[in-house]
Amino acid sequence: MQPICRVLACALAFASCLGAADAPYFVTYSHRMEEPGNLELALDGTTGSPKGGNTFVNSLLEIEYGVKAWWTTEVYLSGQSTAAEGALFTGYRWENRFRPLMHEHWINPVLYVEFADTNGADKSLKEIVGHDGMTDQAEPTSISRLERKRELETKLILSSNFKGWNISENIIAEKNLTNEPWEFGYAAGVSRPLALAASPTPCRLCRENFRAGVELYGGLGTRREFGLHDTSHYIAPTIAWQSPNGLTIAISPSFGLNGNSYRTLLRFSVGFEWSQFGRMRTK
């Protein structure tokens, strides 16, 4: 357990000097884009204990930048620490999100494209696709790290805001660039701030700064074996707090819905957003 405590301690120390996204989702994307010129740094952690495997903590360092009001780009650096197996860097991901429609509609589509170069020891569980399940993570790190994954992931993000509620649905298609079939998954989320109107006085812990929601996500098999058979699914209540100075803290316990899923996963995130970072640099 000691390395895990160390990783958690580092994460918390890092958190104190950082500030992240304001939607409380960890897996689902909404149509909210990063404001142009803003830079966001966040540390996302996921911890779980697979049956027959060791407890792990996966950390993702997320660097997000608003290139345009309709284009957000993001790089993730991923590492994990597994009890009694050590810690390692597992790879990177580079994602881009594009908003094709310039106005707000009842349903707002966003196109998502990601390239990931990770190894088999990556335990970020950032999305669940195909037949992903708990048993994949039970393999010792020394073996799983030898597998290299170069994946192209696409998502169709559909999202709506209505009377303070956000409702988002993601349809995921992922392709390992070796000769493996397309894998599919889904994620959906609903969230709402605890107060709709802002209070007139400055405050940190008032209800308007909290957002609560719930996510549902899981795999949908592959192109050859499409369906729910042998897939894993999760439901995850989530809550986020955003301070007025840009610091965001979010936490979400995920509960597995079938035998292929982890019984529980705990996700946490600490992030900070620098306003107009790009413009500060050009001055």
279 touches other proteins by CB under 8 A: yes
List the one residue from 2, 202, 205, 224 that touches other proteins (CB under 8 A): 202
**Minimum separation from the CB atom of position 253 to other proteins (A):** 24
Please report whether residue 99 would count as binding other proteins according to CB under 8 A: yes
Applying the rule CB under 8 A, the residues between 242 and 271 that interact with other proteins are 244
Site string for other proteins, 146-165 (x = CB under 8 A): ---------------x-xx-
Task: With contacts defined by CB under 8 A, name the span among 50-58, 128-136, 148-156, 272-280 that binds other proteins.
Answer: 272-280
Binding flag, residue 94, other proteins (CB under 8 A):
no
Comparing CB distances to other proteins, the nearer of 90 and 168 is 168
Tell the smallest beta-carbon distance from residue 154 to other proteins (Å): 22
Interface size with other proteins, residues (CB under 8 A): 34
The two structure tokens encoding residue 205 = 């812990």
Q: Are 214 and 238 in contact (CB under 8 A)?
A: yes
Of 12 and 195, nearer to other proteins (C-beta) is 195
Tokens of 44: 């996302």
Calculated CA dihedral for residues 126, 131, 134, 137, nearest 10 degrees: -70
Stretch that binds other proteins, among 74-82, 99-107, 110-118, 175-183 (CB under 8 A): 99-107
For the window 7-46, what string marks contact with other proteins as x by the rule CB under 8 A? ---------------xx------x-xx-xxxx--------
Is residue 107 involved in binding other proteins (CB under 8 A)? Answer: no
Please name the amino acid found at residue 237. Answer: P
Q: Binding marks (x or -) toward other proteins, 53..92, rule CB under 8 A? A: -------------x-xxx----------------------
- Residue 69 CB, nearest distance to other proteins (Å)? 4
